[in-house]
A and B are shown apart, each in its own frame.
Chain A
Amino acid sequence: KQEVTQIPAALSVPEGENLVLNCSFTDSAIYNLQWFRQDPGKGLTSLLLIQSSQREQTSGRLNASLDKSSGRSTLYIAASQPGDSATYLCAVGGSQGNLIFGKGTKLSVKP
């Protein structure tokens, strides 16, 4: 059974810092990996989608990498801003498209 783990559970950084969020999964037979952002009381917003054949994806200040063989992904956020404060969720995609999520990393960026 696929399990997704995110470390750390919470992170607090001063504005401007570069930071890395970690995601690991137990079964390397994934179809894709997605990173989502969730604001309090809100739904999920997709940030980056990495196909199983890809190594990384970039969008603005965000860069996500995928190493299927070791069961790991990282989300790199450059020059963090207070508006980046949210919970970041990692999810791996199965053959039917359903996603298996980690518990998330709660990020707080202090001005």
Chain B
Amino acid sequence: GAGVSQTPSNKVTEKGKYVELRCDPISGHTALYWYRQSLGQGPEFLIYFQGTGAADDSGLPNDRFFAVRPEGSVSTLKIQRTERGDSAVYLCASSLLGSDGETQYFGPGTRLLVL
């Protein structure tokens, strides 16, 4: 596709459940980023992949959050034992090389609601 896609667009789950959020970056982009945006706030960095490896996961809030990118393309953000405070929009972005000075292209986000 022409842009970054994310699925599902909306996800409603119950407290304690496990969820997976998917990101499909722009073809050929080696760098992939996950951000989380709470209502009325700017996006907050979660994790950055360069190829298949997580180059920086310092933004993950705790060990309930995990992300993978096994083939260097699609990435999955996994949240275990979801809590109501996890409710937010999860945004994915990609860039060609991940070097400083590159534009990041964002997907439409997945809106997660934990009841």
> Hey, which bits of chain A sit against chain B, CB under 8 A?
4, 31-32, 34, 36, 42-46, 49, 51, 89, 91, 93-104
A54 to B, closest residue via Cβ = B101
Contact A43 B101 (CB under 8 A): no
B72 within 8 A of A: no
**Cβ of B31: which chain A residues have Cβ within 8 Å of it?**
97
Q: How far is the CB of A93 from chain B (nearest CB, A)?
A: 6
Contact B101 A96 (CB under 8 A): no
Identify B55's interface contact among A31, A93, A96, A103, CB under 8 A.
A96
Q: How far is the CA of A8 from the CA of B28 in the complex (A)?
A: 38
**Cβ of A42: which chain B residues have Cβ within 8 Å of it?**
108-109
- A93-B100, A97-B95 in contact; A46/B45 too (CB < 8 A)? no
**Cβ of B103: which chain A residues have Cβ within 8 Å of it?**
34, 46, 49
Contact B101 A98 (CB under 8 A): no
The 5 closest A-B pairs by CB, nearest first: A101-B42, A31-B100, A44-B106, A43-B106, A43-B108
Q: How far is the CA of A31 from the CA of B55 in the complex (A)?
A: 17
B71 within 8 A of A: no
B102 within 8 A of A: yes
Can you name 5 extra interface pairs (CB under 8 A) apart from A32-B100, A99-B33, A101-B43? A43-B91, A89-B42, A97-B48, A97-B99, A98-B33
Q: How far is the CA of A99 from the CA of B55 in the complex (A)?
A: 14
Q: How far is the CA of A45 from the CA of B4 in the complex (A)?
A: 11
Q: How far is the CA of A34 from the CA of B95 in the complex (A)?
A: 14
Residue with the highest number of chain A CB atoms closer than 10 Å, among B42, B44, B48, B93: B42
B65 within 8 A of A: no
Contact B100 A99 (CB under 8 A): no
B42 to A, closest residue via Cβ = A101
Contact B42 A103 (CB under 8 A): yes
A6 to B, closest residue via Cβ = B42
Interface string of B43-55 (1 = CB under 8 A from A): 1110010000001
Contact A97 B100 (CB under 8 A): yes
B66 within 8 A of A: no
